[in-house]
Structure 1
Amino acid sequence: MKNTYIRTKYLILGLLGILITSCETDFENPNEATSEQTYSSREGILAASVGLQQTYATTGLRWIVETPAITTREAGITTTFQNMIELEDGGSTLPNFNSNVQGLWATMLRLVKIAEDIQTNAPNITLDPGTESGLVAHAKLFQAMAIGSLAQNFEQVVTTTNPDNNAEFVSRLQGFQFAIDRLNEAEAILTATPVSNSFTSQVTLGNIDLLNSIRAMKARYNLFAGNYEAAISAANSVDQSSVSLFVYDSQNLNPIWGRVYLNDSPNFKPRDSFGLPESFNLDAQDGRKEFYLIPLDETNQNGLPIEDLAGFFDINTESIPLYIPDEMNLIIAEANLRKSPEDIDAAISALNEVLTDSDDPLGVNANLSPYSGPETANAVLMEIYKNRRAELFLTGMSLEDSRRFNRPQPSGQSMIYTEERNRNFYPYPDIERNSNPNTPQDPAI
């Protein structure tokens, strides 16, 4: 058993050497072939699955959370690193070589590649059915989340890697649909063949409810894709009493803690009132303010009011959830207003589940009175937007939300710090443009 652990450990370390770059601006080719040895044995492919999850939870989440947080004023920079200055300045001059833009793009495609390889190779290895189903469904989940993260931030995306560096681009809506298709496949696989105890004990360790997470992501991406009935159905299928967590330790630290607290040298801090404009009139008694924010009464170098960060991010080994349970209620509320015909009563009912929540399994409780504003679609949508900002703080969805709720367009000028967001989409990184002739023109803003 000890020798098996040691072999698996070094396979994981070898895989992470392939996946993780050595410095902030050193990004490998996302289509680079992975060692065949990784996928030639049961131990190797299980290690690949662990590495996929671990890389998403560390390097991946750093880019997913931090990058749009700065763009949409969820957070304000507290550093002189050029990549962070460029992000907060924003505008049409945001360079293609910005390391956050590069990191988000390259890391997500690297995750897509490893997920593809697991799915290709798992059927070729002798595995019990529940382990194979777990490996394939788990890979499809992370493939979907990586592509979904790209589609939230880029106008066009790559869904399938290509070893010749000429991967095709598709629209972001096609990207969401590709992710949904993978999640549907994953759900069908697990419904037919539940995961084995062996897979759970060696990969998810009981920290991730795989089927529940797949259904939660189906709800999220169907909402983003405009499939409102499907979003409602998927959200209703999620067991909100079950949580799924990325768990950290002394060797794999919470990546947001690392950006805010490590060495007492923060790169950013959260904005007052989650970065919402004063017009949203956030309730002073909203329990999510105390959960996520620590009063600071300071401004950053660009005059943006900032706080200290709490929530899931103020301890170096604190777990980060894959999703917040009340996201499902917010999806149900929004989708009921965007579908045809709209159902305002159902939307308000779902919204009230969030507002009055006092026993969230993760402790994210608004603990407020039910909604009492105008019962019109526009008014309730704005209340949903406010609650998404508070409930889903620093989950990487703020740029997607800002566009979808038609918040004010950015001017395209840089250093306009009063704008709610300073970009609509990110430019395609030069590491992609310089190697892939199919790379589209950058969005105007």
Structure 2
Amino acid sequence: MKRYINNYSRSVIAGILLFAAASCKKEYTDPSGPSSDKALSSANALTDVAVGLQNWYTANRTGNIYTKVAASSLLTGETYVVNAGNTDENQLYLGGTNVQNTNTIVTGLWTVSNKIIFDADNVLKNVNSVVSDKNYASGLIAYTSIWKALAIGDMAEFWEQIPDTTGTNVPFITNTAGYARAIAIIDNALATISANAVSTTFIKNIPAGINLQNTLYALKARYALFSGDYATALGAANQVSPGTTSTFNYNSLTTNPIFALVTSTNNIYQVVDSAMSLPPGLRPDAADKRFPFYVAVGTKPVYGIKGFYSALLQNIPVYLPGEMTLIKAECYARQHDIVNGLIELNKVVTKTASQDAFGVGAALPAVVATTESDLLELIYKHRRIELFMGGLALEDERRFNRPATERKRSYFPYPFVERNGNTNTPTDPSF
């Protein structure tokens, strides 16, 4: 398995160029990988393809980790461009109509997401006919579904509409319908692992770090929240164990892309200032210990990237325990339960680093809110601090109806690689 991961990692950078050119037809064939018949002919071959999904999602400047963190942080003012020669990042930093349909971050997020969905579909369509061991098949379905759901969710976070499926000249659905699609994929995976426990053999054949069940519930909670289904989001968040972690793991061949490309070079983007992109009245308290966790204070740059992007081999959380608690707080608040919403919020506000699985702790006194609007504003503030540079800020700004002046764009334009081959591509949003 490790041999396949290594080969796949080396081909990612070169392969993205081919996939971008072919993406308008959704024909994602990797000449450096196995042929399609071999890729779908056995449990091991299907597992290789599934592991490839993780490589596509996490690797280098082409993967969704880099593109979504760069896009979200630059569009919401968490970061600024250090060197304007980085044209694509600078377009995002300038925002508005400066973000072009040929932008490589926009195109990369679109293309890699579609590539992941395409390959995941091939695995999911063939797993039950190819894999006789139901417990192994259960793990393969759950693991593959995570990457498919993430890819759909990422697209829904950055585009008003997303393709309904992969194929030629496909129709589009709203991003809210996209979140619902991701949840349906997750629900199928949860039902599958409930019926047939995941085999230890399968777990040994995939990279370490991903806890299947907790990740599925965490993503379900996230996307149900984003789609406004608060009862479902609350129920899913309650299923996530706060002490169990799930991480994108890195090694000497596949390294932490934000550290490797951004933090270590100080040549692309950096943290703007101590406000953590929040307006007056919502900025971090002076005693908030999450600020020094996420932001390095020095001389050059004055404010630097820290947090989960501090070392070459540092793992990145798939979700944070604090995100799940804040989802509960928001769900209660939006269902007009101020008392329980405030209880959940204060679990995050008062939490110390030693009480968090990843060491994220504000260690502040409890806050007070007497109205629903005050509580929601506090939840927004603490989401932005607790989940700093986590790639979710743009969705949060839209969902909490923050002023448009607090971001550079609300949605991406549609890449030309899609528009040039799909007559159903929607009109670009004006902002």
State the TM-score, normalizing by the size of structure 2: 0.92
Structure 2 distance, partners of 1:120, 1:17, is: 27
Structure 2 distance, partners of 1:330, 1:25, is: 40
1:329-366 per-position Cα deviation (integer Å, ceiling 9, x unaligned): 11111111212xx1000100000110111110110111
1:293 paired residue number: 295
What secondary structure is seen at the aligned counterpart in 1 of 2:406? coil
What secondary structure is seen at the aligned counterpart in 1 of 2:206? helix
TM superposition shift of 1:25: 10
2:360 paired residue number: 364
TM superposition shift of 1:397: 0.6
1:209 paired residue number: 211
1:412 paired residue number: none
Greater CA drift, 23-32 or 389-398 = 23-32
Which amino acid letter does the alignment assign opposite residue 73 of structure 1?
A: G
1:232 paired residue number: 234
| Structure 2 residues not aligned, in runs of 5+ | 30-34
2:56 paired residue number: 55
1:178 paired residue number: 181
What secondary structure is seen at the aligned counterpart in 2 of 1:428? coil
1:402-435 per-position Cα deviation (integer Å, ceiling 9, x unaligned): 11111112xxxxxxxxx42011111001111011
1:186-225 per-position Cα deviation (integer Å, ceiling 9, x unaligned): 11111111111111011143x2110010000110010011
Asked if structure 2 preserves the Cα contact closer than 8 Å seen for 1:122 and 1:132, the reply is: yes
Alignment map for 1:156-175 (pairs within 5 Å) = 156-162=161-167, 165-175=168-178
TM superposition shift of 1:265: 4.3
Asked if structure 1 preserves the Cα contact closer than 8 Å seen for 2:237 and 2:325, the reply is: yes
TM superposition shift of 1:19: 5.4
| Structure 1 residues not aligned, in runs of 5+ | 300-305, 410-418
What secondary structure is seen at the aligned counterpart in 1 of 2:162? strand
1:125 paired residue number: 130
TM superposition shift of 1:298: 6.5
1:353 and 2:347 are equivalent in the alignment = yes
| Aligned with 2:304 (options 305, 308, 312) | 308
TM superposition shift of 1:16: 5.1
1:65 paired residue number: 69
Deviating above 3 A after TM superposition, structure 1's stretches of 4 or more consecutive aligned residues are 12-26, 296-299
What secondary structure is seen at the aligned counterpart in 1 of 2:173? strand
CA spacing shift, 1:82–1:137, aligned 2, 3 Å:
same
TM superposition shift of 1:27: 2.3
1:200 and 2:203 are equivalent in the alignment = yes
Structure 2 distance, partners of 1:331, 1:157, is: 24
Asked if structure 2 preserves the Cα contact closer than 8 Å seen for 1:25 and 1:99, the reply is: no
1:415 paired residue number: none
Structure 1 distance, partners of 2:315, 2:305, is: 15
1:94-125 per-position Cα deviation (integer Å, ceiling 9, x unaligned): 21111111111111111111111110121222
Asked if structure 1 preserves the Cα contact closer than 8 Å seen for 2:16 and 2:112, the reply is: no
TM superposition shift of 1:270: 1.7
Which amino acid letter does the alignment assign opposite residue 421 of structure 1?
A: R
Structure 1 distance, partners of 2:13, 2:164, is: 20
CA spacing shift, 1:150–1:23, aligned 2, 3 Å:
closer
Asked if structure 2 preserves the Cα contact closer than 8 Å seen for 1:27 and 1:103, the reply is: yes
CA spacing shift, 1:195–1:20, aligned 2, 3 Å:
farther
Asked if structure 1 preserves the Cα contact closer than 8 Å seen for 2:161 and 2:173, the reply is: yes
1:76 paired residue number: 80
Q: Percentage identity across aligned positions?
A: 35
2:393 paired residue number: 398
TM superposition shift of 1:444: 1.2
What secondary structure is seen at the aligned counterpart in 1 of 2:339? helix
TM superposition shift of 1:43: 2.1
Structure 2 distance, partners of 1:376, 1:390, is: 22
CA spacing shift, 1:55–1:189, aligned 2, 3 Å:
same
CA spacing shift, 1:33–1:92, aligned 2, 3 Å:
closer
What secondary structure is seen at the aligned counterpart in 2 of 1:439? coil
RMSD of the TM alignment (CA)? 1.9
Structure 2 distance, partners of 1:297, 1:405, is: 35
Structure 2 distance, partners of 1:353, 1:421, is: 29
1:253 and 2:249 are equivalent in the alignment = no
TM superposition shift of 1:259: 2.6
1:27 and 2:20 are equivalent in the alignment = yes
State the TM-score, normalizing by the size of structure 1: 0.89
Asked if structure 1 preserves the Cα contact closer than 8 Å seen for 2:92 and 2:98, the reply is: no
Number of aligned residues: 416
TM superposition shift of 1:140: 1.3
Greater CA drift, 57-66 or 29-38 = 29-38
